Amino acid sequence: MIQLVFLATSTSLVFMSDTSKHDRRRSRFEVTPETEDRGLFKRGLTQVAVALVPVISKTPRGDVCVRGYVEKGEEITVIFAGRRVAEFAPMHEELRRLLTEANYSAQRLKKDPPPINSIQLPAQIEGAWRLRFERSSTGEDIRVLQFLAARWGFRDRNGETVTNGKQALYGKRSADISAR
């Protein structure tokens, strides 16, 4: 339960709560699939071809972040959030397999491991764009493109198409998808 404290100042009314300003989201136990998708896909859905690389991290909330590259080599972060995290497992396994095979081949040939960004898994991902700014160590704001994944597909090592994710229960599909 959030407690609100009202402070009256000479010029305005200030709201303070015990929830940090960076995490005012509902508890994960209070979130329905509809409210989750309403929050994730506010600007509608689009489909993007992404080359994912095996650089994977987790957010404090448990969402999975994967480095990816879109056309012209622009780096993005693909986020698999909420109830879609569990469905990320097959893609995670494929990325790990690609990394292991690349490193094993390099070791067998007595070569250096390949650059991590050269190990890529092509994928088609349906989701929504989000722009964030992060502060660099020099104090500058750096633009970070994030893509929130709803559904995705890729080809595994056997050439089989693997699809995962869930159709967004809220949000409009962009014109570029409906035209396909």
For the ranges 6-10, 82-86, 151-155, the maximum mean pLDDT occurs at: 151-155
Minimal CA–CA distance to 88: which of 115, 62, 107?
62
Domains and CATH numbers, the chain: 35-178 (2.40.50.140)
Average pLDDT over residues 10-17: 43
Confidence label for 36 from pLDDT (cuts 50, 70 and 90): confident
Residues 6+ apart with CB under 8 A from 156: 90, 94, 162
Question: What pLDDT is recorded for position 16?
Answer: 45
Total number of residues shown for the chain = 180
Determine the average pLDDT of the residues in 93-111.
96
Give me the percent of the chain exceeding a pLDDT of 90. 56
Compute the average pLDDT of residues 12-23: 49
The pLDDT, as a whole number, for residue 15 is 43
Tokens 């979130």 map to which residue? 31
pLDDT at res. 9: 41
Residue 31 has pLDDT above 70, yes or no: yes
pLDDT single digits (tens) 103-158: 999 999 999 999 999 999 999 999 999 988 888 899 999 888 899 999 999 999 99
Mean pLDDT of the chain: 83
3-state secondary structure of 54: strand
The pTM of the whole model exceeds 0.85: no
Predicted local confidence at residue 26, as pLDDT: 66
| E strand map for the chain | 4-8, 13-17, 46-58, 64-69, 75-80, 121-135, 141-155, 161-165
pLDDT of residue 14: 44
